[in-house]
Amino acid sequence: MNSLLNKKTKCLDLGLMDYQQAWDYQTNLFQSIVDIKIQNRALADSEHRITNNYLLFCEHPHVFTLGKSGEEKNLLIKKEDLHSIEATYYHINRGGDITYHGPGQIVVYPILDLENFFTDIHQYMRLLEESVIQTLDEFNIKAGRINGLTGVWVDYENEKTARKICALGVKTSRWVTMHGLAFNVNTMLEYFQYIIPCGIEDKAVTSLNKELKSEQDIGRVKSILKEKMTKLFGMEIVN
């Protein structure tokens, strides 16, 4: 079976894409991998098909998403008023609570068969965080983790001034992943006032442009992040 390990990963930049459209897109890829794994169980080892891996980058129009373990009370604006801020809302099948996606934020959806890499969800989450931590280091921003909380934080060693710059929320089944991370680059942070981000009331949210006090080249940030993820996971990027 080891001979079938496939670290080749197709990287796609979907641009600015409607949330539902992106959700459907990654769900179809996710299900195609799961289906192969289910079929392989009924076959001899010599007949097993390899599974593919995908790394999707995109941005979304203004949208709030609530994870399956989240509480709707953390959406602080009435649903009927969302149109007034040009936003939409989805209750989705990832872990975690509520978050915001919008233009200027890099969203990454790794659709991976972790059996091609390693079978450890904790390691998977930490490597996603590490890719952002290493990206921020390229901009001379020291970031890290806070015990008990997922995501990436600036000023993480100071409980009172810690600021979240990247949120994580994933779904896995049969070691296949979907959903992923949202990294605030030129994000319109005022939209976070309409939610209690990730259900955490006592922590602020920040972005790369806020920390550096200037608009950032999101293409450059994306390129660095892709490089860090590729190296950390040992991916072989293919077109």
pTM of the model: 0.95
Mean pLDDT of the chain: 95
**Statement: residue 72 has pLDDT above 80:** yes
CA dihedral for 71, 77, 81, 87, sign (positive or negative): negative
Query: CATH number, domain at 119?
Result: 3.30.930.10
Instruction: Provide mean pLDDT across the span 231-236.
Output: 98
Q: Which amino acid is at 67?
A: G
Of 189 and 95, the structure prediction assigns the larger pLDDT to 189
What pLDDT is stored for residue 96 in this prediction? 85
pLDDT digits (tens, 9 = 90+) for 159-216: 899 999 999 999 999 999 999 999 999 999 999 999 988 777 778 999 999 999 999 9
- SS in 3 state form for the chain? CHHHCCCEEEEEEEEECCHHHHHHHHHHHHHHHHHHHHHHHCCCHHHCCCCCEEEEEEECCCEEEECCCCCHHHECCCHHHHHHHCCEEEECCCCCCEEEECCCEEEEEEECEHHHCCCCHHHHHHHHHHHHHHHHHCCCCCEEEECCEEEEEECCCCCCCCEEEEEEEEEEECCEEEEEEEEECCCCHHHHHHECHHHCCCCEECCHHHHHCCCCCHHHHHHHHHHHHHHHHCCEEEC
What pLDDT is stored for residue 117 in this prediction? 97
Query: Known catalytic residue: 198?
Result: yes
What pLDDT is stored for residue 2 in this prediction? 46
Question: How far is it, in rounded angstroms, from Cα 152 to Cα 163?
Answer: 9
- Residue 101 phi/psi, 5-degree rounding, is -125, 145
Domain that holds residue 201: 2-238
What pLDDT is stored for residue 69 in this prediction? 83
Residue of 11, 58, 166, 198 marked catalytic: 198
What pLDDT is stored for residue 159 in this prediction? 85
Task: Pick the closest to residue 236 from 4, 58, 11 (CA basis).
Answer: 11
pLDDT digits (tens, 9 = 90+) for 133-175: 999 999 999 999 999 999 999 999 998 999 999 999 999 999 9
Question: How far is it, in rounded angstroms, from Cα 63 to Cα 41?
Answer: 39
pLDDT band of residue 1 (cuts 50, 70, 90) is: very low
Count of structural domains, the chain: 1
Q: Provide the pairing of β-strand 176-184 with 105-111.
A: antiparallel
pLDDT band of residue 49 (cuts 50, 70, 90) is: very high
